[in-house]
Amino acid sequence: MKEMKYDIIVIGAGSGGLSVSLFMAKVGLKTLLIDRSDEHIGGDCLNDGCVPSKALIHVSRLMHQAKQGELFGYTISGKPDFNKAIEYVLSKQAIIRRHENADYFRKEGLAVVLGTAHFISTSAIKVGDEIYTAKKIVLATGSRPAALHVPGIEKVRQFNNENIFELNDMPERMLVVGGGPIGIEIGQALNRLGIEVTIVHRGENILPHDATEMGSILMKQLKAEGITFHLNAEVKEFTSATEAIIQQKDGNNFKQSFDAIFVAVGREITVKGLGLEQAGIQIKEEKIVVNQYLQTTNKHVYTCGDASGSLMFSHAAEQQARLLLNNFFSPFKKKLNNDYMSWVTFTSPEVATFGLSEAALLKRNISFEKLAMNFEDDDRAVVDSYQYGKLVLYTSKGGLFKKEKILGGSMIAPNAGELVQELILATTKGLGINDIFNKIYPYPVASRINQMIIVKHKEKQLTGTIKKLLKFLYRFV
């Protein structure tokens, strides 16, 4: 059997795999991209994650905003057409698929093979009856939603982020298991589309990777919209197709009725069927073992995206792709560094988190100051009715010749993901808080809140001694 040789093989056509393979092809290197089928190209983001979920959230937000018109005299009647909502989601995916499919990428200079890939040696991949070899191989095989292992689950109608967008009839009651970003986003969207939503979460707070105060504010807003929460609780058993036993942390049980469940209990890395043992690639605790350069125990094989076992975001995959491309061409190798990572939960309001958290700063013994500001007196928040908002910043401690820098932070507000972008840039580039303080913001843009929190911080720095000095300078200069 003839082996076909390439400069690089990339397995998986999601955000990370596409970023690596397209650049390598544009450089002029012989590049092979492998994915299971044309429908899988685009990865989880296009097919099961970011794109369809944000389209559904968009529709649900329109429905919610329409209902708000009742406060000003409009009369809203009828129920949302759930099938129309799903049609909208699918139509937006179809638009993006015009430039994310095998034929399109072949025209871009990529060799694309569709089928299941597995290693047969340290440098050879087999797909069907064909064998392909390369100097370097990148595994960008993604992840899948973790299953819920509970007695009686085979009785119930269940969904996850891979099949919720295939829902063709709307259940009246949805039990969401998991209070992380996926469960909260989908839960709010379904609730706004007319489904009665109950969320069961094992932890004390929703959004466990964000600041507790942000999750608390968000949960208060979601409760006001009609979502029911059971924290410190988990599903112990499904007694029928429409009833679950929920166990609370204190040991008490109660029954919960539903028509369907949405499972959002985490992600599992896709490693089965790849033949990693044939390539000398070690696996530990169902994860591929990689070093700080995303290199596996086979020095010719690298990971990118969810397969790396790091942060599972599309933009994290893009960051890792840039790291790999740098290291493929430069003698100055870069290590993976997530200190400047950011993420957004696209609920209404949004929760945006960036840089180092308070826990990370304490763990590293980094001196910092926590700045916090509610939006209750922010003019834009007042007129747009989001005075519940909050911004938290962690800044380095300054001095006479040392500028205060933004180390990280989080915000909850409508469009928080957009509002924090300049703060993310400041964190990444090591800008001082004076760069924000001295910026001129058109009034009343929402991002003025980024300056206001620093203004308040500087006001607190006006000690008695500094006030006396300023008075002296004013009188005699």
- If you ran DSSP here, which 8-state letter would residue 295 be given? B
- Pick out the chain residues at pLDDT < 50: none
Strand partners, 393: 371, 409
Q: Where in the chain is the domain with CATH 3.30.390.30?
A: 349-464
Fold adopted by 349-464:
Enolase-like; domain 1 (3.30.390)
CA distances (Å), origin 53, targets 69, 85, 202, 418: 25, 11, 23, 18
- Is residue 251 classed as helix, strand or coil in its secondary structure? coil
- Is residue 157 classed as helix, strand or coil in its secondary structure? coil
Go through 63-77 and write b for each residue having 16 or more CB atoms within 10 A of its CB, e for each that does not: bbeeeeeeeeeeeee
As a whole number of angstroms, the distance between CA 251 and CA 245 comes to 12
DSSP secondary structure of 81-97: -HHHHHHHHHHHHHHHH
What is the pLDDT, as a whole number, of residue 438?
A: 95
Question: Which CATH class name applies to 153-266?
Answer: alpha beta
What is the pLDDT, as a whole number, of residue 443?
A: 97
Tokens representing residue 91 in the block: 């139509």
| Residue 134 CA from chain centroid, whole number | 32
Determine contact, residues 411/419, Cβ cutoff 8 Å: yes
What is the pLDDT, as a whole number, of residue 1?
A: 62
Determine contact, residues 165/52, Cβ cutoff 8 Å: yes
- ∠ CA 114-119-121, nearest 5°, is 140
Domain 3-145+268-329: CATH superfamily, name plus number: FAD/NAD(P)-binding domain (3.50.50.60)
As a whole number of angstroms, the distance between CA 53 and CA 193 comes to 13
Q: Which residues contact 390 (CB under 8 A, 6 or more apart)?
A: 213, 214, 217, 372, 373, 374, 375, 411, 412, 413
The model's pLDDT over 410-469, given as tens digits with 9 standing for 90+, comes to: 999 999 999 999 999 999 999 999 999 999 999 999 999 999 999 999 988 888 888 888
Diameter of the chain measured on Cα atoms? 91
As a whole number of angstroms, the distance between CA 396 and CA 146 comes to 39
As a whole number of angstroms, the distance between CA 113 and CA 34 comes to 5
As a whole number of angstroms, the distance between CA 17 and CA 306 comes to 11
Taking the CB of residue 229, how many other CB atoms lie within 10 A of it? 18
Strand partners, 5: 133
- If you ran DSSP here, which 8-state letter would residue 2 be given? P
Q: Which residue has the tokens 């807003």?
A: 221
Q: Where in the chain is the domain with CATH 3.50.50.60?
A: 3-145+268-329, 153-266
What is the pLDDT, as a whole number, of residue 13?
A: 97
Tokens representing residue 200 in the block: 């069961």
As a whole number of angstroms, the distance between CA 154 and CA 150 comes to 9
